[in-house]
């Protein structure tokens, strides 16, 4: 059987998640043994064929040109994978949605702003259908490999819909809240093996929020630890502002 043809594409992002693939080390050889990379601007000049088996998308959708481009890639690809926080949940680019578009354009492009369009920042699934999500800023390499294997087998990958606290506890980290530090672990989806907290950093919520949180219970906890609500909301919006678009769409239905 021929190896599946895979293309990497980037939209609004820092391209750091693509670098993570280059950082795979020895495992990169196994990955290249399993797939045929036909398009990957970060590491090669060639362009892929019209039909792709898998498209891996990094970055969020932030202008009209990007909308057209992602729709074309979707048409070319059998399977589409959103890759990294910007693609999966909008990521830090979502902070743009806190402001008026015109103000943003003026700030960035000065008096030439009229030549540059801009649209509300969206995650990839808010524009086209996404088959797999690889969350994180950057992506967690073992999860990238796990998702890739699922895609190659044609079976679903379930992002763990439980708090980072679960993995953090299994790693026997001292809870950040016990150290008096506010951490987004309790409301953020697991799957990263509490990577940041293992390294003495807090969780920033880059993997998106758990889907069915106990809001009342979470509020009680925030009050118990005397964390101001607006601080939590700001921290949440750093990566998760685009969740408002999902909520809006749900209401429409």
Partner 1 sequence: MEQYFVLKKKSFNDFVSTMAKKQKVVAPIEKGNNQYAFEEVKSGDEIATGYIPTILPPKKYFMPQNETIAKFDISSGQNMEPVVEYEKMTIFGVRTCDLAGIQCLNMVFSDRPRDLNYLIRKNEITIVGFECNDYCDEYASCRLVHNHTPNGGYDLFFTDLGDKFIVHVNTLAGEEIIGQSNVFEKASDQDIKMLNILRTKKREIFAKNEVPIEHENIPGLFDKSYNSKVWEELEKKCVACGNCTNVCPSCYCFDVVDEPNLDLKTGRRSRKWDSCQHETFAKVAGGESFREERGARQRHRYFRKFKYPMDKFSRFFCTGCGRCSRTCMAGINLKETLTVLVEEHGMKNPNAGEVRIG
What are the residues binding partner 1 (CB under 8 A)? 30-31, 33-34, 145-146, 148-149, 152-153, 158, 160-163, 165-166, 169-170, 172-175, 177-179, 186, 212-214, 216-218, 220-221, 224
**Minimum CB separation from partner 1 for residue 120, in Å?**
31
Residue whose CB is less far from partner 1, 22 or 221 = 221
Residue whose CB is less far from partner 1, 78 or 160 = 160
Residue whose CB is less far from partner 1, 47 or 224 = 224
**Minimum CB separation from partner 1 for residue 217, in Å?**
5
- How far is Cα 18 from Cα 9, in angstroms, rounded to an integer? 9
- The DSSP line for 158-213 is PPP-SBHHHHHHHTTPPPTTTTT---SGGGBB--STTHHHHTT-----TT-B-SS-
Residue whose CB is less far from partner 1, 73 or 192 = 192
Query: What are 155's two structure tokens?
Result: 């079976």
Q: How far apart are the first and last CA of the chain?
A: 42
**Minimum CB separation from partner 1 for residue 161, in Å?**
6
**Minimum CB separation from partner 1 for residue 108, in Å?**
39
**Minimum CB separation from partner 1 for residue 196, in Å?**
17
Residue whose CB is less far from partner 1, 22 or 166 = 166
């Amino acid at each position: 059987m021929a190896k599946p043809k895979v293309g990497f594409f980037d939209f609004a992002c820092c391209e750091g998640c693509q670098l993570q693939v280059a950082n795979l080390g020895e495992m990169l050889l196994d990955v290249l043994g399993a797939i045929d990379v036909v398009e990957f601007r970060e590491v090669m000049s060639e362009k892929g064929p019209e039909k792709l088996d898998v498209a891996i998308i990094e970055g969020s959708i932030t202008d009209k040109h990007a909308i057209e481009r992602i729709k074309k890639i979707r048409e070319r690809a059998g399977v589409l994978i959103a890759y990294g926080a910007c693609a999966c949940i909008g990521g830090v680019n979502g902070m743009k949605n806190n402001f008026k578009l015109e103000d943003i354009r003026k700030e960035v492009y000065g008096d030439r702003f009229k030549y540059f369009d801009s649209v509300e920042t969206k995650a990839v699934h808010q524009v086209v259908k996404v088959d797999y999500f690889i969350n994180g800023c950057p992506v967690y390499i073992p999860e990238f490999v796990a998702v890739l294997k699922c895609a190659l087998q044609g079976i679903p990958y379930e992002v763990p819909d439980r708090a980072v606290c679960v993995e953090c506890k299994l790693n026997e980290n001292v809870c950040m809240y016990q150290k008096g530090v506010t951490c987004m672990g309790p409301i953020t989806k697991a799957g990263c093996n509490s990577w940041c907290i293992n390294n003495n950093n807090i969780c920033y919520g880059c993997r998106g929020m758990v889907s069915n949180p106990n809001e009342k219970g979470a509020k009680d906890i925030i009050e118990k630890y005397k964390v101001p609500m607006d601080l939590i909301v700001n921290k949440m919006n750093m990566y998760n502002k685009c969740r408002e678009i999902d909520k809006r769409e749900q209401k429409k239905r």
